Structure 1
Amino acid sequence: MDRRETPLAVQHNHVAGENVSVNYLHYGADVTIDPGMLGSFYLLQIPLSGKALIHHRGDVVAAGSDKATLLNPDRETRMHWRGDCQKLLLQVSREHLNAVATGLIGAPLPGPIRFDTEVDLTTPNGSELKRMVVSCARAIDAGDLFQGLSAASDMRVETDLALALLTLQANNVSHIIDRSDGGATPRGLRLAVEYIHGNLTEPLSLQQIATHAQMNVRTLQKGFRRRFGVTPMQFVRNARLDAAHYQLTSRRDPPTVTTVAFGNGFSHLGRFSRDYKARFGRLPSKMH
C-alpha cells in the first residue's frame, strides 16, 4: 500500500459469522492497494461515497455510487482508493459459496466460480444486492446478526447472501443455474410444505427442505415463487408467525409471548415482535 500526501486515518469495522463477514472500510487518504489473489474468499465492494479504480480479471472498473465490484479469489487485483472513498464490504468464503452453488444446481460444479467484476447498482439485480448487504449491516448494528444469538438464523443469512451473489450477479455458472429449474412438481411442493409444517420448531435450511422435497434449491425457490409468491424461507417465517398467532389468540389463558416465540422457532424476541406486527398489525404483547 502506498501513502500519498495526506496521512492515513484508517477506520475498519469488521463483524464475522461462520462463512461471511461484513466490513466498513475508509482509509482517509488516497491509497494504492495490491492484495494479489484473495485466495479463500470472494469480496463484494460497495462504495458508500467517493471513488475507486479497480483492476481485476483484465477489467478496469471506476467504482462509485452507481458501480460496485466483485472480486474473485483466484485472480489478481490492484486498487486505487481516493481519500473520500468509503466502502461496505461483503466477504464470502469460497468453500461456502461452492457448497451453496452445488445445492442450488443439484450437481457438482464444473470448476471454479468466477463472477463478472462490475456490479451495476442501477439495475434491479445490483440494487437488490446492495439492499441486502446494507440490511445486514443495519442488523449487525442493531445487535440482531452475528452476535452469537442464533446460529440457525446466522446461517440462513449467510446462505441467502451466497444465493444472492449466485443468482443476481453474472458468473460463469449462470447458465447452469438458469437451466437447473426442472419445474417443481405439485408432489414436490406438497412434500416441502409438509416438511416445513412438521418442523416449525427446528432450525430449517433451504437445502434441508429441498432434499426432503426431492428437488434442487433453485427448483424449490422458483416453485415457491410461482405457487405461493414468496421464497421458501419467507414461507417458513410466515408459517411460524401463523402458528404463534393461533396460540396467542385461540386460548383463554395463552402462554407468554416469550414461550410462544421460542416454541415456534424464533430465537430472537425483538425480531419476532417486529415480524409479528408486520404480519398482523399489532405487537404480540397486545394480543393477550
Structure 2
Amino acid sequence: MSEPIAPAQEILGAHRVFDVARIDALEATLNPLNGAKLLNVGSAGHDFHAFGNHYFLPLSELWFSWSNTQVTMRYPEDGMLRLRLWHGGKGATCRGRETHLVTADKAVLSTAASDVDFAAGFGQICWRVHRERMERKLAILTDRSLSALNIDATLDLTAPQSAMAMQILGCMTRWIDNAGTNQQPVFLAELEQAFITSLASVGAVGGTSLLAASAPKAAPFQVRRVEAHIEANWDKPITIEDLVEVSGASARSLFRSFKESRGCTPMEFARRLRLQQARQMLEHPQPATTVSEVAFSCGFGDLGRFAKDFHRAFGLRPSELLARHRVLAVVA
C-alpha cells in the first residue's frame, strides 16, 4: 500500500470535489466533471484511494489530483487548453505515440486529447482554460487576429520566463489554500491575468514574437483616459481588456506609452492608488480597524507583500501607522 499523501503536499485542500475508495467509482465520478475515461488501473486491492480538488478562477480553473496506485485516464479534446504540472511522484502525458514525463522541471501544455498516467503517489496540478478565452486574451495582448489555437508543447520550467509563470501560479495556489473566508476577487483576478500574460510570453502559446514586436505610441489623451479609469475603479479588478476598450489603443501601445509618461505600468499605477487608499484608512481608523482588514479591502491578498510594498512606499510599516493614529485618536 502506498503511503497517503502528506498534508503539506496537497494543494486546494479545502476544495475537494471527489474522493473515492473504489476503482469502479473513479470514472463515474470524473467523467461528468471533465470528460475523463478510465483506461487502466494497477493492482490496488482494497486499499485504492484517489481524490481531486478543484477551484474556479475568474477566467480559468485549477485542479489537483492524486492516486495511491497506478491509474491511466484519457482526457478528450474538448476545447480546453491544459497545463499539466508535477506535484510529487511519477507521471506522464501520452499523445499519440509520444510520451512526455511530467517532472519538477518539465510541464506539458496541450489542446489535444491525451492519456495521463498516474504512477502510485503521483500528484498533478492541472490549469485549464477555454481555448477561446486564451485566443481572445492573446489577441488583446498582441493586437493581432489569431487563428484557432492548437498547442502541443513541453515546457522547460527552468527557463526564466517559465519560472516566472510558475512563481505566479504558486502564489495563486498558496493564496487559495490560505484565504479561508477572506476572498479577494481583485487580487485573484489580477494575479490570474499576470499568470496568463506570463505564460503567453513563454512562447508556447505563440505569444513571444508578437509581444516583442515594436508598437506605436498611444496618444496622451488615451493615457489620461486609462489613468482616469483606474482612479475611478481602483477597488475593482483592472483588466487589460478594459484598458484597451477605454483607451482605444492596443495593449502594447498603451503599456509602452503609459510607462514612458507615468514612469510605471497601469497595473503598478493601480497598486500605488491602493496603497494610498490603505494609508488613508490607517490614518483614520475605526475602533475595529486592523491591518489585515485594510489590506483586504484595498485589494491586497498577500499580507506580507502588502507590508513590504507599504514600507517601501511610505517608510514605515502599516502596523506602525495604525498604532500611531490610534494613540493620536485617544489623546484627542
**Normalising by structure 1, what TM-score?**
0.79
CA change 1:204–1:171 in 2 (3 A) is: closer
Distance 1:266 1:217 in 2: 28
Aligned position for 1:122: 158
User: Does the CA contact (< 8 Å) of 1:100 and 1:159 recur in 2?
Assistant: no
Matched position secondary structure for 1:113: coil
Residue in 1 that maps onto 2:16: none
Task: Report the alpha carbon displacement of residue 221 of structure 1 after superposing the two structures with TM.
Answer: 4.0
In 2, Cα distance between equivalents of 1:116 and 1:229 = 38
Aligned to 1:3: 41
Query: Which of 73, 76, 83 is equivalent to 1:44?
Result: 83
Query: Offset of 1:282 from its aligned partner?
Result: 1.1
- Paired amino acid for 2:195: L
Instruction: Return the alpha-carbon distance in structure 1 between the equivalents of residues 290 and 105 of structure 2.
Output: 46
Q: Please say if residues 206 and 232 of structure 1, whose CA atoms lie closer than 8 Å, have aligned partners that are also in contact.
A: no
CA distance 1:149–1:255, change in 2 (3 Å): same
Hey, what's the Cα distance between the residues in 2 that align with 1:58 and 1:238? 51
Give the match's secondary structure for 1:34: strand
User: Conserved in 2, the CA contact under 8 Å of 1:20 and 1:91?
Assistant: yes
Range with greater deviation from structure 2 (89-98 or 117-126):
89-98
Say whether residues 1:283 and 2:295 are aligned partners.
no
| Residues 138 and 47 of structure 1, relative CA distance in 2, 3 Å threshold | same
Moved more, 115-124 or 219-228: 219-228
- Cα separation, 1, equivalents of 2:152 and 2:259: 26
Aligned sequence identity (%): 19
Residue 143 of structure 1: aligned partner: 179
* Cα displacement (A) at 1:227: 6.4
* Aligned Cα root-mean-square deviation (Å): 3.5
Cα-to-partner distance string for 1:50-95 (whole Å, 9 max, x where unaligned): 22222237753222111011121xx221232221321222112223
1:63 is aligned to 2:102: yes
Q: Give, as a single letter, the amino acid of the residue that structure 1 aligns with 2:104.
A: S
Shift of 1:142: 1.0
Counterparts of 1:89 and 1:186 in 2: how far apart (Å)? 41
How many pairs does the alignment contain? 277
Matches within 5 A, 1:258-277: 266=297, 271=302, 275-277=306-308
Q: 1:197-235: per-residue Cα shift (whole Å, max 9, x none)?
A: 344345432222233333222333455566667543232
TM-score (norm 2): 0.69
1:138, CA displacement in angstroms? Answer: 0.6
The answer (yes or no) to whether the contact 1:258–1:269 under 8 Å persists in 2 is no
Q: Secondary structure at the match of 1:100?
A: helix
Residue 166 (structure 2) pairs with residue 133 (structure 1): no
Could you tell me whether the CA contact under 8 Å between 2:64 and 2:123 is conserved in 1? yes
Rounded to whole Å, the distance in 2 between the matches of 1:119 and 1:197 is 38
Q: With CA pairs under 8 Å and 6+ residues apart, which has the higher RCO, 1 or 2?
A: 1
Structure 2 residue 176 is matched with structure 1 residue 156: no
- Structure 2 unpaired stretches of 5+: 1-37, 326-332
Query: Is residue 113 from structure 1 mapped to residue 149 from structure 2 by the alignment?
Result: yes
Distance 1:77 1:22, change over 3 A: same
Distance (whole Å) between structure 2 residues aligned to residue 53 and residue 202 of structure 1: 40
Gapped regions of structure 1 (runs ≥ 5)? none
Q: Offset at 1:124?
A: 0.7
Amino acid at match of 1:182: A
One of 7, 22, 27 as aligned partner of 2:62: 22
